[in-house]
């Protein structure tokens, strides 16, 4: 993906051990299609050399407001005018304090102050010792920077370079990359609470065996990520899958269809949008054995009896909040053939305003997919693309419909 194609980012480094992560971040931004102009403070240059950052960004690094390379000698104006965002990573406690007061005695702070407020957003990735982070002065500065319109990313938690453990580390480069990409996405779901089910369910036969399916959960996880990027608060109820939780998403792990139903019904109270992508097992063994079923040597095979699992989507689609329009429900249909006919019939059967059809065997485990959106007015195809790209398109479609 080239999620930052066409974006020009001024990457500002201030003094902190986390400067080493800025090197990785610079590469990652460029890999996503951005161009990166690095500005370093004097303190940053104590931690990592401008040569490293120049080699990674493929551009000369700026460090001084007296840099004679600029014909008009106004680096702070020139650099800020061409940026789509200024990202300060790492941002030290001292630099936060400086930004807050509008001080401008070095090139980076000068560039931040000189940027056109309505065109060039300021993104801040704090990095400091846990005591510095927790200090009331820092927390006050953080609140004021947000109030002034800056986006301040979270900090990480864990071991710190000083040997202490706690909050205040800079996020890892891949986490910051995800946050920067999210920042640039349209905010169509701002204020919404999205609930997503994803992955397969696992229905136990005995303590060591069970019935499941080939769903990888990738589509549901991509939708959770896209919804969070679009400004929603997101809860993801996930069956057993080995996928990393998208940034900023609350994840609840479940095993069986019954677990998934309970977690989903509880969380649906606060949700405004429900997207059911999970491949819920239709049936579960009627009796779960306490002990492993053993071969008895006679060649007799065990006979399993099944009962039908609850239909989570249909349950929520019939709930009073869904019927009154407070909870917008979206279903998925995993079919093996006759997609349009099956998806159209399933939408009516499940009682949902929007149903998304896909061919199960062609998508399970893959990174891309093709979707068919079916609503009361007809069907529309979202052609084959990465699951994240499709998830973003679907989120935009949901945002449009939720408004109506
Ligand atoms: N679904 C659900 N609970 C179930 C079964 C399905 O919430 N017990 C949801 C799925 O998450 C999906 C939609 O219903 O959003 C359709 O799932 P699918 O497996 O395609 O359909 P089924 O209802 O199982 O119907 P069929 O087996 O006849 O295709």
8 Å CB contact between 108 and 12 = yes
Tell me, yes or no, whether 3 lies in a domain.
no
Tell me, yes or no, whether 338 lies in a domain.
yes
| Catalytic residue set | 162
Q: In this structure, what CATH number is given to the domain that contains residue 167?
A: 3.40.50.1950
Going by the DSSP 8-state scheme, the letter that residue 62 receives in this structure is B
Distance 303 CA to ligand 1 centre (A): 25
Instruction: Give strand pairing partners of 359.
Output: 335
Tell me, yes or no, whether 120 lies in a domain.
yes
Distances in Å between the Cα of 317 and the Cα atoms of 13, 221, 270, 277, 404 are 50, 21, 15, 14, 18
- Residue 370 pLDDT: 94
Distance between CA 382 and CA 243 in Å, rounded?
24
**Are 313 and 268 found together in one domain?**
yes
Tell me, yes or no, whether 344 lies in a domain.
yes
Distance 122 CA to ligand 1 centre (A): 44
**Are 25 and 158 found together in one domain?**
yes
- Residue 361 pLDDT: 79
**Helix, strand, or coil (residue 209):** strand
8 Å CB contact between 33 and 6 = yes
Give one DSSP letter per residue of 153-173, joined into a string.
---EEEE-TTS-EEEEEPPPH
Pocket of ligand 1 (CB under 6 A): 197, 257, 276-280, 282, 309, 311-313, 331-334, 350
Which atom of ligand 1 is the closest one to the Cα of 350?
Answer: 14
Structural domain ending residue among the three candidates 184, 212, 236: 184
Give, rounded to a whole angstrom, the gap between the first and last alpha carbons of the chain.
31
Closest protein CA for atom 9 of ligand 1: 313
Identify how many contiguous H helices and E strands the chain contains and give both numbers.
16, 19
- Residue 404 pLDDT: 53
**Are 352 and 327 found together in one domain?**
yes
Structural domain ending residue among the three candidates 184, 202, 217: 184
Closest protein CA for atom 17 of ligand 1: 333
Distance between CA 318 and CA 277 in Å, rounded?
17
Distance between CA 174 and CA 28 in Å, rounded?
7
Which atom of ligand 1 is the closest one to the Cα of 309?
Answer: 8
Distance 340 CA to ligand 1 centre (A): 16
At which residue do the structure tokens 């000698």 appear?
73
**Are 230 and 158 found together in one domain?**
no
Tally of structural domains, the chain: 2
**Helix, strand, or coil (residue 82):** coil
Distances in Å between the Cα of 121 and the Cα atoms of 35, 150, 352 are 16, 7, 39
The pTM is what?
A: 0.94
Tell me, yes or no, whether 169 lies in a domain.
yes
Distance between CA 189 and CA 136 in Å, rounded?
33
**Are 278 and 351 found together in one domain?**
yes
Tell me, yes or no, whether 40 lies in a domain.
yes
Tell me, yes or no, whether 1 lies in a domain.
no
Instruction: Give strand pairing partners of 354.
Output: 330, 375
**Are 213 and 153 found together in one domain?**
no
**Are 356 and 220 found together in one domain?**
yes
Q: What is the 3-state secondary structure (H, E, C) of 249-298?
A: CEEEECCCHHHHHHHHHHHHCCCCEEEECCECCCEEECCCCCCCCCCCCC
Distance 399 CA to ligand 1 centre (A): 23
Q: In this structure, what CATH number is given to the domain that contains residue 360?
A: 3.40.50.10300
Distance 279 CA to ligand 1 centre (A): 7
**Are 229 and 103 found together in one domain?**
no
Distance between CA 252 and CA 236 in Å, rounded?
6
8 Å CB contact between 53 and 81 = no
Pocket test for ligand 1, best of 200, 212, 262, 278 (most atoms within 8 A of CB): 278
Structural domain ending residue among the three candidates 184, 213, 231: 184
CB atoms within 10 A of CB 367: 11
**Are 329 and 384 found together in one domain?**
yes
**Are 93 and 209 found together in one domain?**
no
**Are 175 and 310 found together in one domain?**
no
Distance 377 CA to ligand 1 centre (A): 22
Tell me, yes or no, whether 93 lies in a domain.
yes
**Are 207 and 115 found together in one domain?**
no
Range of the domain at 396: 193-403
- Residue 403 pLDDT: 66
Contacts of 171 (CB under 8 A, 6+ apart): 125, 153, 154, 155, 156, 179
- Residue 213 pLDDT: 93
Distances in Å between the Cα of 124 and the Cα atoms of 9, 170, 296, 319 are 13, 10, 65, 42
Helix axes 93-100, 107-114, angle to 10 degrees: 40
CB atoms within 10 A of CB 386: 15
Q: What is the mean pLDDT of each run of 10 residues along the chain (404 residues)?
A: 94 97 98 98 98 98 93 92 97 98 97 97 97 98 98 94 92 97 97 98 97 94 98 98 96 98 97 97 96 91 95 97 96 92 96 93 85 96 96 97 73
């Amino acid at each position: 993906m080239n999620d930052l194609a066409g974006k020009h980012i001024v990457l500002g480094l201030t003094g902190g051990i986390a400067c080493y992560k800025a090197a990785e971040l610079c590469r990652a931004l460029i890999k996503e299609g951005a161009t990166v102009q690095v500005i370093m403070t004097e303190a940053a240059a104590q931690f990592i050399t401008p040569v490293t950052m120049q080699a990674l960004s493929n551009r000369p690094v700026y460090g001084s407001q007296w840099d004679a390379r600029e014909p008009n000698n106004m680096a702070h104006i020139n650099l800020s005018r061409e940026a789509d965002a200024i990202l300060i990573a790492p941002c030290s406690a001292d630099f936060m304090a400086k930004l807050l007061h509008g001080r401008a005695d070095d090139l980076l702070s000068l560039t931040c102050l000189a940027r056109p407020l309505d065109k060039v957003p300021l993104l801040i990735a704090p990095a400091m010792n846990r005591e510095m982070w927790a200090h009331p002065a820092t927390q006050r500065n953080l609140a004021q920077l947000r109030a002034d319109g800056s986006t301040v990313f979270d900090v990480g938690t864990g071991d710190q370079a000083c040997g202490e453990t706690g909050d205040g580390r800079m996020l890892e480069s891949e986490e910051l990359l995800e946050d920067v990409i999210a920042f640039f996405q349209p905010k169509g779901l701002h204020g919404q609470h999205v609930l997503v089910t994803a992955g397969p369910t696992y229905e136990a036969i005995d303590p060591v065996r069970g019935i499941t399916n080939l769903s990888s959960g990738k589509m549901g996880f991509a939708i959770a990520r896209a919804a969070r990027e679009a400004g929603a608060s997101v809860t993801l109820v996930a069956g057993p899958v080995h996928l990393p939780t998208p940034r900023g998403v609350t994840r609840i792990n479940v095993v069986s269809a019954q677990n998934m139903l309970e977690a989903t019904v509880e969380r649906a109270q606060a949700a405004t949008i429900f997207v059911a992508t999970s491949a819920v097992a239709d049936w579960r063994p009627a009796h779960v054995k306490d002990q492993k079923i053993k071969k008895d040597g006679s060649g007799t095979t065990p006979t399993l009896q099944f009962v039908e699992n609850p239909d989570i989507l249909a349950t929520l689609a019939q709930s009073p909040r869904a019927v009154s329009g407070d909870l917008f429900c979206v279903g998925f249909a995993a079919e093996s053939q006759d997609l349009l006919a099956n998806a159209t019939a399933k939408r009516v059967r499940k009682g949902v305003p929007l149903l998304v059809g896909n061919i199960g065997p062609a998508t399970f485990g893959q990174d891309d997919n093709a979707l068919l959106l079916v609503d009361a007015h007809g069907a529309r195809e979202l052609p084959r693309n990465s699951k994240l790209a499709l998830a973003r398109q679907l989120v935009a479609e949901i945002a449009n419909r939720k408004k109506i």
